[in-house]
């Protein structure tokens, strides 16, 4: 693609994203700077307008959000999270069980609609499509195991968007009717933007991102800044806060990166498959609400915090929701980060136990 066309599409996408965000601000929707761009860009993309996300802007968005979330981890919060180790382990087991059940649901619903797949390939496709992990990592594992990577990617994209849309609106509804107020100690350490503190924070967290990238770790532009900012805050180093304007910009970039996944081809990709994914995702959201409420009873934390921490969404998106709505962002982040690491380590070995043997032929 020619540079002029490339930058023109990015500029158009940014224009659509900003307009959508401002509309959501006016409508008073939850997390407007992420939901607006996500839905607006997705709508234009599905309609056929060329929308494009810049990898550099997405990295900047993850960088800012990772650094902002790390500032929540004061010494008091660190002690709280360490004391919740047993609940985090339960959250990991819950995610593995939920993903496994989701995969079985997809297999049951799709067996008759995908006759071209052998029993082994169908199991691989539904297994990795159902796993509650990173979309890119699950698609890569699916490709290595001869699964339909397009269906796996579509499943994760739709699941993530449904969770990102449903949960914030649900939290906002509860907030307006019942009032959701969590422990004030779960707010970030530094509260004001300081200079040159923001410069020092940018240098330190940027170095962390580059190190994680050099080590080829997952989500380096989120995890690197998060870990560096977390380490600084835990040790009492509080240079600055991240301004709301910077956070809004980061949410906009992340919203765009989610919205561009939806194109005309996506809607045409196995409609019955997408319907099954949607039904299964809504079921997982409801189950996570029940599980989060039960876990909150055992930990003494607010149910909203545990619901976000154990929901089948992504780290950045659920943490952003908790941050903007002030629903215990550090606890949500800790649950989501530990879950992602565990799922990435366990899902592939676990597949060897549940895979259909190579010689088995599928029967209708």
Cα–Cα dist 36/343, whole Å: 30
Q: What is the 3-state secondary structure (H, E, C) of 122-143?
A: HHHHHHHHHCCCCHHHHHHHHH
**What is residue 360's predicted lDDT score, i.e. its pLDDT?**
45
The confidence score (pLDDT) of residue 274 equals 85
Where along the chain do its domains lie? 3-354
User: Which CATH architecture describes the domain 3-354?
Assistant: Up-down Bundle (1.20)
User: Rg of the Cα trace of the chain?
Assistant: 20
What is the distance between the alpha carbons of residues 109 and 63, in angstroms, rounded to a whole number?
Answer: 39
Alpha-carbon span 80 to 305, nearest angstrom = 13
Residue 189 confidence (pLDDT): 61
Neighbouring C-alpha atoms within 13 Å toward the C-beta of 361: 2
pLDDT tens profile 47-95: 888 888 888 888 998 899 888 888 878 787 788 878 888 999 999 999 9
Q: Please tell me the distance from the alpha carbon of residue 314 to that of residue 320, in angstroms, as a whole number.
A: 10
Spatial separation of the C-alpha atoms in residues 88 and 134, rounded to whole Å: 18
DSSP 8-state symbol, 148:
-
Q: pLDDT (tens digit, 9 = 90+) per residue, 140-170? A: 778 788 788 778 888 888 888 888 888 888 7
pLDDT of residue 363: 45
> Tokens 């996408």 sit at which residue?
13
Return averaged pLDDT per consecutive 10 residues of the chain, 364 residues in all.
Answer: 80 93 88 86 86 87 87 80 88 92 89 79 88 76 80 84 85 65 58 82 93 84 88 85 86 86 71 88 93 89 87 81 79 85 82 67 45
């Amino acid at each position: 693609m020619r540079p002029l066309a490339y930058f023109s599409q990015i500029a158009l996408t940014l224009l659509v994203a900003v307009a959508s965000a401002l509309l959501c601000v006016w409508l008073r929707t939850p997390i407007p700077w992420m939901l607006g761009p996500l839905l607006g860009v997705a709508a234009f993309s599905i309609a056929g307008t060329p929308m494009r996300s810049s990898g550099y802007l997405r990295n900047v968005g993850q960088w800012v959000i990772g650094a902002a979330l790390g500032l929540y981890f004061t010494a008091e919060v660190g002690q709280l999270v360490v004391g919740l180790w047993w609940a985090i382990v339960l959250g990991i087991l819950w995610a593995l069980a939920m993903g496994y059940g989701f995969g079985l649901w997809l297999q049951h619903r799709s067996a008759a609609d995908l006759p071209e797949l052998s029993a082994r390939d169908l199991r691989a496709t539904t297994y990795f499509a159902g796993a509650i992990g990173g979309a890119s990592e699950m698609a890569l594992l699916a490709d290595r195991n001869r699964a339909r990577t397009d269906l796996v990617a579509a499943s994760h994209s739709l699941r993530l968007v449904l969770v990102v849309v449903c949960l914030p609106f649900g939290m906002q509804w509860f907030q307006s009717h019942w009032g959701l107020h969590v422990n004030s100690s779960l707010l970030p350490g530094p509260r004001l933007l300081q200079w040159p503190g923001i410069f020092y924070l940018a240098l330190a967290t940027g170095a962390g991102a580059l190190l994680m990238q050099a080590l080829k770790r997952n989500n380096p532009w989120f995890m690197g800044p998060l870990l560096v900012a977390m380490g600084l805050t835990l040790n009492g180093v509080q240079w600055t806060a991240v301004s709301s304007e910077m956070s809004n910009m980061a949410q906009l970039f992340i919203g765009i990166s989610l919205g561009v996944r939806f194109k005309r081809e996506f809607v045409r990709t196995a409609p019955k498959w997408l319907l099954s994914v949607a039904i299964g995702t809504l079921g997982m959201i409801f189950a996570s609400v029940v599980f989060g409420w039960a876990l909150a009873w055992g930990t003494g934390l607010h149910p909203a915090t545990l619901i976000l921490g154990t929901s089948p969404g992504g780290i950045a998106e659920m943490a952003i929701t908790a941050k903007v709505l002030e629903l215990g962002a550090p606890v949500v982040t800790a649950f989501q980060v530990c879950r992602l690491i565990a799922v990435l380590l366990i899902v592939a070995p676990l597949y060897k136990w549940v895979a259909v043997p190579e010689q088995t032929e599928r029967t209708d």
